């Protein structure tokens, strides 16, 4: 078993690796890179860390193989946050502990900055001349969940004011908006480590549970979290009458279900054996996170 200190140390170490790789990709090309970097800087880096954890658990040795893809995921995630914060969407002026992109640079630059990050991610995915088939598979998997079959569809459902208040509708939003992207982060690590299809499939399915869990804890933190610790504005979901887990189940009911999703994720990961122990600790971290 991994203790609380150990997982905190693990996350800090991996975050440092991701942060310095990202910095390298934002070297001085033109001023737009500085604008984009403002928003990229400061996240928890959960998605890239999941990709690295999966790559290493699957026996991947050279971290450089997964790093550009892991960083690309973070750029796509950041684009989605920038666009989500826009006045036409969630309208939030505070993100990652500072002014959100449109507040700092204006709406036009925020939109363009998101567009730039989205495209630049795919350039990072193509870095290097090796493992072309794996990179193709990784890009296919990512592109399938960040567009109209995933994040963008999830956002469309999320902003719709004609939602039915049902567990099924909630699950559809959570799956598309959050869980598929978290699951694909776990999946690309396995793809780049050249794992067999069975392993890749188990990891994706376990990742879906982890992703739903992630959105459950995000929903809980929107109700009980502190602005400074979260680095974003809590209370937005109630203010905009969002369909969330607490809206449907209350806080206690949401906590109960979150624990159940954590168990389901851990059971699935554990079928892959001891090499995947880290995912137990990562799941617990996501269950108990306060930011
Ligand atoms: C296509 C115009 C257009 C907009 C797209 C894709 C999109 C807008 C929004 C994505 C939906 C979204 C914001 C989902 C929420 C996912 C989530 C829980 C984000 C918070 O992630 P953390 O906690 O944040 O990992 P940090 O800042 O730590 O990276």
pLDDT tens for the chain, 291 residues long, are: 678 889 999 999 999 999 999 999 999 889 999 999 999 999 999 999 999 999 999 999 999 999 999 999 999 999 999 999 999 999 999 999 999 999 999 999 999 999 999 999 999 999 999 999 999 999 999 999 999 999 999 999 999 988 889 999 999 999 999 999 999 999 999 999 999 999 999 999 999 999 999 999 999 999 999 999 999 999 999 988 899 999 999 999 999 999 999 999 999 999 999 999 999 999 999 999 999
**What does the pLDDT read at residue 53?**
98
Nearest CA to ligand 1 atom 7: 80
The number of the ligand 1 atom at minimal distance from the alpha carbon of 154 is: 11
78 ligand 1 Cβ < 6 A: no
**What does the pLDDT read at residue 13?**
98
* Whether 52 contacts 14, CB under 8 Å: yes
83 ligand 1 Cβ < 6 A: yes
Q: Give the C-alpha separation, 70 to 262, whole Å.
A: 23
Q: 3-class DSSP state for residue 240?
A: coil
**What does the pLDDT read at residue 1?**
64
Q: Give the C-alpha separation, 238 to 35, whole Å.
A: 31
Closest by CA to 68, choosing from 121, 118, 114, is 121
Q: Give the C-alpha separation, 75 to 121, whole Å.
A: 6
Burial of 148 (0-12, 13-18, 19+ CB in 10 A): exposed
State the first-to-last Cα distance of the chain, in angstroms, to the nearest integer: 23
244 ligand 1 Cβ < 6 A: no
Number of H helices, E strands in the chain: 15, 2
Q: Give the C-alpha separation, 237 to 246, whole Å.
A: 10
Ligand 1 probe mutation, 218, 221, 282, most atoms within 8 A of CB = 218
Q: Give the C-alpha separation, 212 to 176, whole Å.
A: 10
76 ligand 1 Cβ < 6 A: no
Phi and psi torsions of 94, nearest 5°: -130, 125
The number of the ligand 1 atom at minimal distance from the alpha carbon of 111 is: 2
155 ligand 1 Cβ < 6 A: yes
At a CB cut-off of 8 Å and minimum separation 6, what does 232 contact? 92, 94, 95, 96
* Whether 82 contacts 100, CB under 8 Å: yes
DSSP 45: -
81 ligand 1 Cβ < 6 A: yes
Total-model pTM: 0.96
What sign has the CA pseudo-torsion 147, 36, 232, 84? negative
What sign has the CA pseudo-torsion 176, 276, 264, 14? negative
**What does the pLDDT read at residue 4?**
83
Ligand 1 centre distance from Cα of residue 177 (Å): 8
Ligand 1 centre distance from Cα of residue 120 (Å): 17
Ligand 1 centre distance from Cα of residue 77 (Å): 6
The number of the ligand 1 atom at minimal distance from the alpha carbon of 77 is: 29
At a CB cut-off of 8 Å and minimum separation 6, what does 162 contact? none
Q: Give the C-alpha separation, 181 to 77, whole Å.
A: 9
Ligand 1 centre distance from Cα of residue 262 (Å): 21
Ligand 1 centre distance from Cα of residue 196 (Å): 30
232 ligand 1 Cβ < 6 A: no
């Amino acid at each position: 078993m991994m203790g609380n200190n150990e997982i905190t140390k693990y996350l800090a170490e991996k975050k440092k690796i991701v942060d310095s790789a990202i910095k390298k990709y934002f070297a001085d090309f033109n001023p737009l890179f500085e604008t984009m970097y403002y928003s990229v800087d400061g996240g928890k880096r959960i998605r890239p860390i999941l990709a690295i954890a999966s790559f290493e658990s699957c026996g991947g040795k050279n971290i450089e193989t997964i790093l550009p893809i892991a960083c690309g995921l973070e750029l796509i995630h950041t684009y989605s946050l920038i666009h989500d914060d826009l006045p036409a969407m969630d309208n939030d002026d505070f993100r990652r502990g500072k002014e959100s992109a449109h507040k700092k640079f204006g709406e036009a630059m925020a939109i363009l900055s998101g567009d730039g990050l989205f495209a630049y991610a795919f350039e990072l995915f193509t870095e290097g001349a090796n493992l072309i088939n794996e990179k193709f598979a990784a890009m296919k998997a990512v592109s399938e969940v960040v567009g109209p079959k995933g994040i963008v569809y999830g956002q469309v459902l999320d902003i719709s004011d004609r939602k039915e208040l049902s567990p099924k509708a909630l699950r559809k939003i959570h799956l598309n908006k959050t869980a598929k992207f978290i699951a694909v982060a776990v999946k690309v690590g396995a793809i780049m480590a050249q794992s067999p299809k069975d392993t890749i499939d188990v990891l994706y399915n376990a990742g879906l549970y982890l992703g739903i869990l992630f959105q459950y804890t995000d929903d809980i933190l929107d109700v009980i979290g502190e602005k400074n610790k979260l680095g974003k504005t809590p209370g937005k979901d109630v203010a905009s009458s969002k369909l969330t887990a607490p809206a449907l189940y209350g806080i206690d009911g949401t906590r109960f279900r979150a624990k159940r999703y954590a168990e389901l994720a851990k059971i699935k990961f554990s079928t892959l054996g001891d090499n995947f122990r880290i995912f137990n600790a990562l799941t617990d971290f996501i269950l108990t996170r306060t930011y």
